[in-house]
Structures are given as C-alpha cells and as structure tokens.
Structure 1
C-alpha cells in the first residue's frame, strides 16, 4: 500500500497573518457596512426625497447593491495583481481605496443642495467601494490560508470573517448614537460622522498592512514555477468548474444582506419598529458570531468543510422565516432571539468555513483570482437580494413570506453547489487544487 503523502508546507506565521487579516478586515468592512446601514435608515430622505417613501426606500437600498456590481470587475483586476505580484500589494491598495471612497461619501451634497448630481456621485463612490471589497476578503483569505498549518487552515482563515463581523459591529454601533439624534440633526450632519471616521480607519489599517509579510506559499510559487502571465486564463482553462461552484455557493451571502439591509428597512420603515432596538439586534448577533465563527471553523478542521457548511445553510433557510415573522408580529423578544440565532450562530457555520473551502479548491498559481472572481460574482447576486426582496414583498401581515421563500431558494442553490464538490480538509496545502491527489491521513501532517 502506498503511504499517504506528508505535507511539505513551508513554515509560515499563521498567528501574525490571522491577526493582521482580522484587524484589516474589521477596518475595511466598517467602511463597507456603514453604507448599508445609512442606506436603510437615511439615504431615502437625503438623496431620494423627490420619490414617494416606498420608492425612495427601494432606490436607497438599490444603491447598496450597486457596490456589488463593481465587485466582479474588481475581482478580475485585483485577482490578476494578487496572483502576479503578491497578496500584500492587493491588501494595501484595497484599504486605501475603500477609505478614500467612504470619506468622500460623508462629504457629498444632498439632493436638496445639488439635485440629481448628488445620487449620481453617491453611486460612483459606491462603485469604488465595491472595487475595493472585491480584493479584500480574497486577499486576506489567501494570506491566512497560505500561512496556516495544513490541519488548521479553516480555523486561521476564519479570522478574516471574524474581522468582517467586527467591522459590521463597529459600523452598526457607531450608528446607535447617530440614530438617536433628532431627525433634523440626523439628516443634516449626523449621518456623515461615521463616514468621516474612515480617515482614522485608513491610517491605522495602512500601518498594519504595510508590516505584513508575503506568504511562503506564494514566494515558493515564484521561486519554483513562477507566476502565470495571465492567471485568469489559467483559472478558466483548468478550474472553471470550481469557479462556478464558488459562484453558486457564495449566494449564501444573501442571508447576510437580507438580514442587514432588507429586514432592517422592513422593520423600521414598514412595521415601524424602534430604530435603535433593531440596530442592537445586529450588534448582538455579530457579537455572537465572533465566538461562533472560530468554533465552527475548528469543527470543520476535524469533520470536514461540507457537513458544517450544508447544515448551516439549511438552518439559515429555516430561521429566516422565523426572523421575518417575528418582525411582522412586532415581538422584540422573538426578534432578538431568532435574529441572534440566525445571523450570530447558524450563519456562522457557513461564514466560518468558506474562506478555507473556496481557497482550497485552487492552486497557489490562481488562488486569489479563483476566490475573488467566484465569490464576487456570487456576492453580486447577494448584493441585490435586498432589492429583489423589497420588490417581491407583498402587503399585509404575510407580505414577508415571499422573501422567506426567496431566501430558502438561494440557500438550496448553495447547498447543491457545496454538496456536489470534493472534500478538501485532509489535502496537504501544496496539493490543493490538483486533481487526482489522494487525501492523506491528517495524523501524518505536523504543524510547523
């Protein structure tokens, strides 16, 4: 019998990479998520006041989705740079671009001051945010995965998503005092403060990311095989099935956008629930996710990626019905209970797994491109999920049911995509993405 291969994964710095990815992602996604909160709460009145309330809300939520349109474009561009020139360059660039665009949103004139030019500028800046976000998670995930020991890849890469959740906590928390302002102060200057705070975000994040070391996997790729002249061409020639699988699996992000944008808007603008209370649901759910993410990731390192992901996605499909029903009933105890269970716990079972699972489908030569392009096309669908949800929602007490069915259908798509894929948790890092390699016994793999 041929012995299982022993990993020759070069020693990296997994803790440093994970901490840098966590902090950088938290700062980056603070910028990205404050836009979604503002779109749900104030942009319909600041940038689209000429519309009736329902149309204004729909247009404001649609600008949130516009950022996701730019993400596939950014994925092609930044994926190419990351696979040709290194992960670190992408991470520094994305932070600077995101910070500049976010600060500029806080400086925009309102519709009353500049007319139609105001929402046009808003959309342009949201597109720049999308370009930045396209390379952020893929770059950070590639960085941590390639530094991590083979038997703990999911655990260490989950810190990228923990950082994303922390950024969402910060983005929601900063709006709590802002949302409590009198209406006139909120609409005139209050909503701008979280965007102006991004200047500090850029300074802190730039210092952290400049100190990052390139991954040993990428350095070995450069030293031994070199980098592809056109990584995307190699990607679609040799890995197109995995790109498609990542696209379909990434529709799970619709749970996040519907929870964070549509459900918040539905609760505040339709059911007329307390704005601050609904923001606290997001804060507490994300706080729970900070604990749940590494736990589910550690579980996936022991039992595999697929069972944890599929169970989490199925749970999200079921709990979204409960969450929207609780909002419709106006029951704050149920809203908090189901909201935290849905977004803080069950969604974390998928969110903690995909940073490793998607990256493990590709070789180092095309890893950043594969993750970036696959996820960002899937996330583009998720970005417009709140807009679609708002459009299909019915009227009356049961109007939310169609949104629940829509969310469940998207979960079914990503369950099918993941369920049909190969398991990767026992494959040595240097064999990832290679077809026909036998999965080794994890007991033969030693931590560096």
Structure 2
C-alpha cells in the first residue's frame, strides 16, 4: 500500500454517508446477536437440560461435567473458524464470509432442536450433539471477526471503539433473547420442558437467521479492504503473516481476554448449575440471567464510548481490578442457595464483564494492520474464548469437586488468572490514536 492510499483510506471512511454507516452497524449488531443467541442458547441448555436428555444414567455431578464438556467442544472449534473465515475474509472480503457463517450457525442450531434423546437412539445422541456443537463454534469463529472488522473499518477515527463494540453488543442482546426464550419454555411442567419444550427456542433460530440475512444483504464491503484488495488477492496465507510478524500481539490479545471470558464462563454457565443445585429456583435464576444481560449491554455501550475518549487500556484495567475485588463475594452469593443472591452476583458480574467487553473489540483490531486484521483479531478473540470461557465451567466444576464442594480454591485460581490478564493489558500499546490502515 502506498503512502497516498494510506492517507486516503481514513478520508474514505469519514466520507461515508450516515445512512449506510447505520446499516453497517445494524448488520454487525443483528448478525452477532443472532449468532450469540444460538451459542448462548446452547450454553443455557447445557446447564439445565442436556444432562437429563443426552447424558442419562450418570450422577448429577458427572452429567453436568459431561454436558459442560460438549460446551467446551464448541469453544475449541472457534479458533479454527476464526482462522478459516479470517483467511477468506482477509483475501476475498469481509462481507462474503458473514453470510456463510450465519447460515452454518442457523443450520446447526436447528438440527440440535430436532436431535433425538439418548433414550431414543442411545450413544449416537451425545455424539451427534458434539458434532453439531462443533459446527456452532466454527460458525461463531467467523462471525465475530467479520462483524467487528467491517464495522470498525467503516467508522470515523474518533468512533472506532463505539463502532467495533456493535459486534460485542450482539453478545448480551443474544443472551437476553436466548435466556428469555428458555425462561418462557421452562414455565412448562418439568416433564414437558425436558421432553420437547426446550427444543422450541432452538427451532426459532431459523426465523432469526432469515432476518439477519435480509439486513446483511444491504451492506457494502469495507472501504479499507477495497483499498487493499489488489494486495489481498496476491497474499496466500494471512495466518502465516500474523504469526511471523505479530506473534507478540496474538499472545497479549489472548491473555487480555481472560477477564471477560472467564467471567462469562463462571457467572452465566457454571454458576447457573451451581446455584440451582444449591436450592435456587431455576426459573428465577434464568430471569436474573436475562436481566443481567441487559445491564451488561448498557455497560458495554458506556465503556466503548468512554474508551474513545480516554483510551482502551484505562477502561479495561479498571474493569479487571473490579473483577478481582468482586471474585470472592460473587462466589459466596452464588452458593447461598438464594435466587436473589445469584441475581446480585450475576448482575454485578456481567456489568463488570461489559466494562471490559466494550473496548475489547477495538483493542484487538488496533493490534493488527488492515491486511491481516480479520485473521489476527479473530485468532485472539476466538482463542481466548476457547481457553477461558469454553473450559472455565468444567474447570470450575472440577475445582469445586476437588475442594469438597467449597469455592475458596476456585476463587484463588480465578484471581490468579485475572492477574495474568491485567499484566497482558499493561504490556500492550494504547491503540486509540493509532493509524488504522497501518
């Protein structure tokens, strides 16, 4: 890319009409919300349904562990999705891969809703569940990177944090939809809910995908990608370039996501099963989770806007430190056996998650140049989600079992992980004022 084109790219971005920019942000938000509706829906069902439907015959503790194991399988597929979709997104364009990722996700989720139980087809049921879960993870691996990159690359320089956060805002919005759908289905009698009621939210994914594809069809390709399009066609392996020239950024980006994804795995996955298992009402717990996602949405918007004023790092550091202070109080509240205790824990926890989540998309995107931004940011985000959110519920369950049912060991390990996350953020350069094309 020439010096002149590097100067022209920001001008091209700033010159876009507001109407089209709104369409871009709406597409980023809706697409991500639909994808995460499907993904969070699975996480909720893994906590309260799948142990009874696909892992019958195991004790409650082992059934929960096996169910969370399938959850982790989906997270393990997310980096692969980020690499594959990122490769084609950096070579062929951001828009094209977003359609494929959404269709893949909707198909996998719908098929989960149609999957027979282990009582009907035996061991084939959990095996097929794992396959479909891997497809879900693969699709989400491509969705976030594309949605974030196309929004950020359309935005004026002073609004990059806010624009990039629309891909993250889809997370809490999708969580609200998923939690609300499962909550409504859980109003059925237990036998009906576990037999067929839980399937309805999964089948609704087809409707949401149709809406998302309709919105996404009106969005144009990223102007910055068009500046690099000729170069992209010649580049064979963006992933190799990421590791060769940006390996330090990959490592720091992976560990910087530990706080956000760790809180997600504990507050919205492991804690649901733990609170219900200690006597909290299931429907009340799901209601609390839904309202907490609304609070997280507001915190994400606010912190993204603040990061455009003061920088990504100060906002993320404040959120991480607050998580460290709240770790033990949160675990005590979750284990109290009270739905109110869980509600307070998940509300504060997801609010703090939103504080870190808001700047995180721009934080990652600004670590990499345009030619490998999709691949690099996706690798960091999806790798972090695999390591921290995907395995956190299973790790948390194992630590609690090891401690004989107590949560002290889990709290110590969690705070230690947050210290590592804080160090990673401190070791990065502030990206708010960085030249986006370069």
What band does the TM-score fall into relative to the shorter chain? Answer: over 0.9
- With 130-139 and 323-332 compared, the bigger mean Cα shift is at 323-332
- What residue is the counterpart of 1:39 in the other structure? 46
* Equivalent position to 1:196, from 186, 203, 223: 203
Q: CA deviation at 1:239?
A: 0.8
TM-score when scaled to structure 1? 0.91
Say whether 1:389 aligns with 2:372: no
Instruction: Please say if 1:125 is aligned against 2:119.
Output: no
The one-character-per-residue Cα deviations of 1:132-165 (angstroms, maximum 9, x if unpaired) are 0101111111011101111110011111111111
Distance of 1:106 and 1:166 partners within structure 2: 21
CA shift for structure 1 position 333: 3.7
Q: For structure 1, which runs of at least 5 residues remain unmatched after alignment? A: 432-448
**Aligned equivalent of 1:80, options 87, 90, 94:** 87
The answer to whether structure 1 residue 69 and structure 2 residue 61 are counterparts is no
Identify the match of residue 353 of structure 2 among 337, 347, 352.
347
Which residue is equivalent to 1:442? Answer: none
How many matched pairs? 425
The CA distance in 2 between the partners of 1:65 and 1:283, in whole Å, is: 22
Gaps of 5+ in 2: 1-5
Mapping 1:200-211, distance limit 5 Å: 200-211=207-218
1:8 Cα deviation (Å)? 5.2
Aligned counterpart in structure 1 of residue 385 of structure 2, from 369, 379, 384: 379
Find out whether 1:261 has 2:269 as its counterpart: yes
Q: 2:157 aligns with which of 150, 157, 161?
A: 150
Q: CA deviation at 1:402?
A: 2.0
2:178 to 162, 167, 171: 171
| CA shift in 2, pair 1:6/1:94, >3 Å | closer
For residue 318 of structure 1, report the CA deviation from its aligned partner: 2.5
Per-residue displacement from partner, 1:232-259 (whole Å, max 9, x unpaired)? Answer: 1111111111111111112221211211
Q: How does the TM-score come out when normalised to structure 2?
A: 0.93
Structure 2 CA distance, aligned partners of 1:390 and 1:332? Answer: 20
8 Å Cα contact 2:275-2:339 kept in structure 1: no
Aligned mates of 1:198, 1:292 — CA distance in 2: 26
CA drift at 1:336: 2.4
Structure with greater helix share of residues: 2
Runs of 4 or more, structure 1, over 6 Å off, are 395-398
Partner of 1:317: 324
Deviation at 1:339, TM superposition (A): 2.2
Q: CA deviation at 1:272?
A: 2.0
SS in 1 for 2:114: coil
Q: After TM superposition, give the deviation of residue 176 of structure 1 in Å.
A: 0.9
Task: State the 1:15 CA deviation.
Answer: 2.5
Cα displacement (A) at 1:71: 1.1
- Let me know the Cα RMSD of the aligned residues: 1.8
- Does the aligned pair in 2 maintain the 1:137–1:160 contact within 8 Å? yes
CA distance in 2, matches of 1:329, 1:306: 35
Cα offset, 1:187, TM superposition: 1.3
CA distance in 2, matches of 1:203, 1:416: 42
1:435 aligns with: none
Counterpart in the other structure of 1:284: 291
What per-residue deviation string (whole Å, max 9, x for no partner) do you get for residues 390-429 of structure 1?
0110488971222222222222222111110001101232
How many Å separate the matches in 2 of 1:120 and 1:387?
Answer: 19
